[in-house]
């Protein structure tokens, strides 16, 4: 069967290769055999390929997430049937046609959902949901502000916050996506510009903003700090700029703020990540949570897919075999 593999860390254009590997063994009593259908190509996948994010043993099959179809179940597996669609466990090496994984934590996705949208359930919704629950206590009615609101994590955060009774302030690069973000449940949307702080505060008054979620870096982070209320938290999960995140010390100290980094892979998969995937799956199934897809590529066009990702947009790999 086919897989994408690296034998050394480095430039994705040089080290990513489509190879033939052995078929997986039959599933054990508590395992399932899966056919990987669709897997996103994420920037953090490329960070693994370059060796910047992690250095797994080589040779290595990348692919942090994806959606797969059950081909066979072990003798002790309950609740799953051949043909069910499931979300792959995080970091299981999704860029291969078939694999065997433990059944623990897997569940059948709602019938009739869009398979491409389902493929993005494994990483972004858990990241968004866990940032809402694991950083600072939030109560229904509390406000959360984020930049990069049009990203996959941003859209997931909007939908999950709405489901949990939270209100969101969403900063994006331009107005083109405002209608989509509002339809997903955004309470306030604004261009991420110099007027954002004043305009948002005029809209929400002195309401408490307890959490800021950031994925851009550079000086624009200052707007999130200005909008945070005393004792608030700033959480950073990614970066779009090749420069440090600017945090003004007087604001940090004067407002008693807390700043932390976030990586979804640090959280227990079964007890923390899977419950958020279960929470988000119905939102994907009914079309509440939608992430626009810029391109879908077969495995053999991995280099074209990488170049498209670097230009921008959400890129998916169609993994299912010939």
pLDDT band at residue 258 using 50, 70 and 90 as cut-offs: very high
Lowest pLDDT segment from 172-176, 233-237, 300-304: 172-176
**CA atoms of 26 and 30, how far apart (whole Å):** 11
pLDDT at site 242: 73
pLDDT at site 238: 85
3-state secondary structure of 99: strand
Residue pLDDT, tens place only, 167-196: 999 999 888 899 999 999 999 999 999 999
Q: Which residues, 6 or more positions from 74, have their beta carbon under 8 angstroms from its beta carbon?
A: 27, 28, 29, 30, 31, 32, 103
pLDDT at site 321: 65
- Contact 70/80 with Cβ under 8 angstroms? yes
Cα pseudo-dihedral 270, 275, 280, 282, rounded to 10: 110
Model confidence at 153: pLDDT above 60: yes
pLDDT at site 239: 79
Q: Is 105 left (phi over 0), alpha (psi -120 to 50) or beta?
A: left
pLDDT band at residue 54 using 50, 70 and 90 as cut-offs: confident
**CA atoms of 302 and 308, how far apart (whole Å):** 10
Whole-number percent of the chain with pLDDT over 70 = 99
Phi, psi of 67 (to 5 degrees): -120, 140
- Contact 121/284 with Cβ under 8 angstroms? yes
- Span 255-281, mean pLDDT? 94
pLDDT at site 240: 74
**CA atoms of 179 and 184, how far apart (whole Å):** 9
Q: Which residues, 6 or more positions from 156, have their beta carbon under 8 angstroms from its beta carbon?
A: 124, 125, 127, 128, 129, 280, 289, 291
Give, as one character, the DSSP assignment of residue 83: T
* Cα Rg, the chain, nearest whole Å: 20
Model confidence at 322: pLDDT above 80: no
pLDDT band at residue 207 using 50, 70 and 90 as cut-offs: very high
Question: Which secondary-structure segment (H or E) carries 41?
Answer: strand 31-41
3-state secondary structure of 308: helix
The tokens describing 310, both together, are 């670097």
CB-count exposure of residue 74 (10 Å: 0-12, 13-18, 19+): middle
Model confidence at 33: pLDDT above 60: yes
pLDDT at site 61: 97
- Span 232-237, mean pLDDT? 96
Highest mean pLDDT: which range of 81-85, 266-270, 317-321: 81-85
- Contact 166/131 with Cβ under 8 angstroms? no
CB-count exposure of residue 35 (10 Å: 0-12, 13-18, 19+): middle
Positive or negative, the CA dihedral 304, 55, 118, 186 is negative
Which residue's entry shows tokens 């703020």? 257
pLDDT at site 225: 96
Distance between the two ends of the chain, CA-based, in angstroms?
9
pLDDT at site 265: 86
3-state secondary structure of 27: coil
Residue pLDDT, tens place only, 106-118: 999 999 899 999 9
Model confidence at 156: pLDDT above 90: yes
Cis amide linkage into residue 28, ω under 30° from 0: no
Q: Is the pTM of this model over 0.75?
A: yes
- Contact 240/216 with Cβ under 8 angstroms? yes
């Amino acid at each position: 069967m086919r897989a994408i593999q690296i034998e050394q860390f480095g430039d994705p254009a040089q080290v990513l290769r489509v190879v033939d590997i052995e078929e997986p063994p039959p599933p054990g009593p508590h395992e399932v055999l899966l056919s990987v259908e669709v897997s996103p190509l994420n920037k953090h996948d490329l960070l693994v390929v370059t060796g910047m994010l992690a250095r797994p043993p080589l040779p290595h099959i990348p692919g942090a997430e994806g959606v797969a179809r059950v081909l066979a179940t072990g003798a002790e597996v309950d609740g799953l049937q051949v043909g069910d669609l499931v979300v792959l466990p995080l970091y299981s090496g999704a860029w291969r046609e078939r694999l065997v994984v433990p059944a623990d934590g897997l569940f059948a996705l709602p019938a009739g959902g869009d398979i491409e949208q389902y493929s993005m359930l494994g990483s972004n919704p858990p990241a968004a949901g866990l940032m809402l629950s694991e950083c600072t206590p939030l109560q229904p009615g509390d406000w959360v502000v984020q930049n990069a609101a049009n990203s996959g994590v941003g859209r997931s955060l909007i939908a999950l916050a709405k489901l949990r009774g939270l209100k969101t302030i969403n900063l994006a690069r331009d107005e083109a996506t405002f209608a989509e973000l509002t339809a997903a449940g955004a309470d306030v949307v604004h261009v991420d510009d110099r007027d954002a702080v004043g305009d948002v505060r005029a809209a929400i008054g002195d309401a408490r903003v307890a959490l800021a979620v950031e994925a851009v870096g550079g000086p624009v982070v200052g707007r999130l700090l200005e909008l945070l209320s005393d004792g608030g938290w700033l959480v950073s999960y990614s970066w779009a700029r090749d420069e440090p995140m600017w945090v003004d010390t007087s604001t940090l100290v004067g407002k008693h703020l807390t700043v932390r980094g976030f990586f979804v892979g640090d959280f227990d998969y079964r007890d923390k990540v899977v419950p958020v995937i279960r929470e988000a799956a119905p939102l994907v199934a009914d079309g509440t949570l939608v992430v626009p897809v810029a391109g879908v590529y077969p495995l053999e066009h991995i280099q074209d897919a990488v170049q498209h990702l670097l230009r921008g947009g959400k890129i998916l790999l169609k993994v299912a075999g010939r």
